[in-house]
């Protein structure tokens, strides 16, 4: 479980697989290897998977008393990929991670080979109201000890005992005031993009997801039926099929986007953990060979 110094943080992350780089961003109060547990066997056979912990989460230590802002997460992501020497990459984000991914792709569109965003709306509501209701540590401790224990397991070792109780209100407070992406910013995202939501997501009404997919020039929409917020957790087989189809259909576009930015000398950028990663041709076609449709998931 490596860590790298970036944007003043020691960002903890998991690294697995081989192939073209993908960065996967988890949701608020979670960690990537849990949000995407059902996808990692499939992803790691097709990509070099990077799973960074957001500041204040998991192993990336940050005191939420010092503030918490979503635009800081975008700065963190930029510093993370720069420190690792990754000029272009596939980007996947869920919920809070999806907002980070959208903002980064708007800021630096040429660096994104493809974009997948799950469970996000660029409107403040109902996202802010739902988060305020859920981000109630005293209520969680009193009525849902199982979830409280899970949050402690995820974060206490890296952040200190009980740090999640300060983190949740800080995240909710930022959603109340954070600047919102508008059509001008979304139109900058020119990578093939898949917008994913569940048809019963309390954070993201389906029409919001549809609107987001329409404002991104290369946007597509996938709606999981009878599903709430965590599509990749609640409907893993269906999600895996959808995302595999997306990567198959965008392979050529992703390769062109990488070739337009990557240095002529591949040795000019060296991954700090390259010695521990198997050498595999950086081609997005590996997803075609890696995907196993039987049963709907890997």
Q: Give the tens place of pLDDT for each residue, 58-83.
A: 999 999 999 999 999 999 999 999 99
Residue 280 has pLDDT above 70, yes or no: no
**Whole-number average pLDDT of the chain:** 90
Q: Given this model, what pLDDT does residue 24 score?
A: 98
What pLDDT sits at residue 261?
86
Question: Is the separation of the CB atoms in 29 and 154 below 8 Å?
Answer: yes
For residues 105-120, give the mean pLDDT: 98
Q: In this predicted structure, what is the pLDDT of residue 298? A: 24
pLDDT(285) > 80: no
DSSP state of 279: -
pLDDT at 159: 97
Please state the domain extents for the chain.
3-296
Q: Is the pLDDT of residue 19 over 70?
A: yes
Q: What are phi and psi of 206, to 5 degrees?
A: -60, -40
**How are the residues of the chain apportioned to helix, strand and coil, as percentages rounded to the nearest 5?**
50, 15, 35
Report residue 250's pLDDT band, with 50, 70 and 90 as the boundaries.
very high
- Report, as an integer, the average pLDDT of 284-295: 44
pLDDT at residue number 291: 46
Q: How far apart are CA 149 and CA 57, in angstroms?
A: 15
Q: Give 296's pLDDT tier (boundaries 50, 70, 90).
A: very low
Helix (H) or strand (E) holding 125: none
pLDDT at residue 110 in the model = 98
Q: Residue 289: its pLDDT value, please?
A: 53
Q: Is the pLDDT at 189 greater than 50, yes or no?
A: yes
CA 124 to chain centre: 19
Confidence check: pLDDT of 267 > 60: no
Q: Which CATH class is domain 3-296?
A: alpha beta
Write the DSSP symbol of residue 57: B
Q: pTM of the prediction?
A: 0.90
Q: Which of 217, 238, 174 is nearest to 28 (CA)?
A: 174
Segment 126-175, tens digit of pLDDT: 999 999 999 999 999 999 999 999 999 999 999 999 999 999 999 999 99
Say if residue 275's pLDDT is above 70: no
pLDDT at 281 exceeding the cut of 60: no
C-alpha 224/C-alpha 242 separation (Å) is 10
For 9-37, what is the mean pLDDT?
A: 97
């Amino acid at each position: 479980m490596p860590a790298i110094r970036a944007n003043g943080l020691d960002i903890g992350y998991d690294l697995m697989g081989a192939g073209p780089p993908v960065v996967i961003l988890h949701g608020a109060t979670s960690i990537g290897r849990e949000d995407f547990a059902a996808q990692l066997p499939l992803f790691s056979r097709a990509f070099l998977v990077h799973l960074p912990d957001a500041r204040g989460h998991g192993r990336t230590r940050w005191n939420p008393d010092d503030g918490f802002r979503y635009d800081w997460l975008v700065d963190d992501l930029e510093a993370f990929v720069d420190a690792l020497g990754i000029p272009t990459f596939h980007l996947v984000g869920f919920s809070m991670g999806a907002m980070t991914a959208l903002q980064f792709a708007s800021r630096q569109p040429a660096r994104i080979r493809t974009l997948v965003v799950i469970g996000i709306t660029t409107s403040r509501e109902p996202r802010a109201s739902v988060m305020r209701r859920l981000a109630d540590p005293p209520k969680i401790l009193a009525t849902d000890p199982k979830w409280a224990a899970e949050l402690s397991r995820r974060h206490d070792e890296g952040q200190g005992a009980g740090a999640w109780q300060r983190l949740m209100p800080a995240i909710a407070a930022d959603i109340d005031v954070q600047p919102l992406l508008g059509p001008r910013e979304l139109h900058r995202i020119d990578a093939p993009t898949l917008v994913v939501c569940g048809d019963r997501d309390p954070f993201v009404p389906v029409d919001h997801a549809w609107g987001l997919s329409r404002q991104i020039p290369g946007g597509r929409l996938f709606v999981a039926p009878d599903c709430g917020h965590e599509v990749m957790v609640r409907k893993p087989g269906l999600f895996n099929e959808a995302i595999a189809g997306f990567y198959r259909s965008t392979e050529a576009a992703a390769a062109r986007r990488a070739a337009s930015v990557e240095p002529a000398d591949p040795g000019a950028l060296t991954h700090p953990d390259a010695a521990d990663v198997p050498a595999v041709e950086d081609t997005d076609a590996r997803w075609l060979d890696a995907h196993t449709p039987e049963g709907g998931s890997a």
